[in-house]
Structure 1
Amino acid sequence: MSTPFAFPLACVIADDNEMNRLTLEHYIGMTDGLTLAGSFPDGITCLNYFRAGHLADLLLLDITMPELTGLELVRILPEPQPEVVLVTTHRDYALDAFELQVADYLVKPLDYARFSRTVDRIRARRGPQTPAAPSLPAGGSEPTFGPEGNTLFLKINNRLTRVNFDEVLYIEAMSVYSVLVTAKHKHIVYSTLKVFEERLPFSHFARVHRSYIVNSRQVEAVEDNQLVLPGGYRIPVAKAYQESFFRRLRGL
């Protein structure tokens, strides 16, 4: 069992790949002693965050970003600099990482076990922290379903968060996780799509593909067996689901 920490490490992410950011955000949320301070889609926004006087303990930094690469960002970060962990698909940056004296170098696709070992090494180097009283229990892998109108409480980033399912456009499978997509946010929930399919209490959510559950009330149009949703999202309807879903759609 992991031990809570009195002084959690404040983490910042900079990566132009949205799914990689979501994965790192989820890893931070499921790790005791870490808290997410900021998540940015490019190096310049991240640099401005630190130049504004904000601090962090750990920076998870993609290397190949447009306009300002991760390596360039490390060289111009203001003091005091956080511990830097480079995250990249390319192994040939290892020498650059060594010369910049970064804390570690993670190669995509990201792996939680490797991420966790990196965090443990950084903690060990920073010295022991005083245990604090435990907060919310970690819970299991399933979401906490407790409908109140059209909302449910789900565990997102290690906290119970109220989600308004009227705003959810679709739910996408991602390995053992699911991504809830709204017009403004994407939330990673540590639960399979099958669990959502079996336990969602809302009749207007329907499975349309092995990787997607869709809010049928958000469908704007159907083109070539694809559902057009707000924001330009297009979700395919697999052949096995077409008859039942389109019948449901016509009956709304």
Structure 2
Amino acid sequence: MPGLRVSGIYTDSLQALQSVSSTENIDILFMDIDMPSLSGLELASVLRAKTRKLIFTTAHSRYAFEAYEVAGDAFLLKPYSFAKFSTTINRLFAGMEQSAQAVQERDDYFLVKSKADDLAIIRIRYDEVIAFESAQNYIRIHLSGQRILTAYLTLKDILQLTAGRFEFKQFHRAFIISTWNISQIRGNTVHMINNLSFSVGDLYKKQFTAYLEEKLLTTSRK
């Protein structure tokens, strides 16, 4: 389903407890109820504060009341259809995508001091940006029209700037790119529309794979 990215799958409740407890808060936690060691209900009572939404999935309708007792947000009775799954997700997160898009539309530019222009403050629209490139103590901002602007910034500054803007991704330690401006991907190499290219770094392969899984159109033929 577009917009969802799986960050972990566990068949052992104790392993799930250890892993989820040590991570940052997550958006959705899907929880079966019949599990060894700790039941899903017991596990949910411990991990509820770590997730924004808690969805129970089980083949037993008798657990419905207990699921809501531990602040479950939804209950999917197996077997359930993709339509049911999709409806549940959209209901729980109604309006979030539209709100995020509205924020991006209102806040469509940023200002930087240009090193080459005597630190003049330059207005840049997000949709002009092809990539941010780390270059020693500076950031090169690759823009449409083959323009490059250099600013005294760090990649950490850029990560903060682009947080919440879904088109910007980091697949290499020196680049944060606008995925809107990818021209092609060949194997492990990403080519941008301005002829900039780079190989996906080992530390970023998980994020890169998740991006491909979300965006790559594949056939349903068997």
Shorter-chain TM-score: what band? 0.3 to 0.5
Instruction: Normalising by structure 1, report the TM-score.
Output: 0.41
Instruction: Normalising by structure 2, report the TM-score.
Output: 0.46
**Radius of gyration: which is bigger?**
2
Which structure dedicates a bigger proportion of its chain to helix?
2
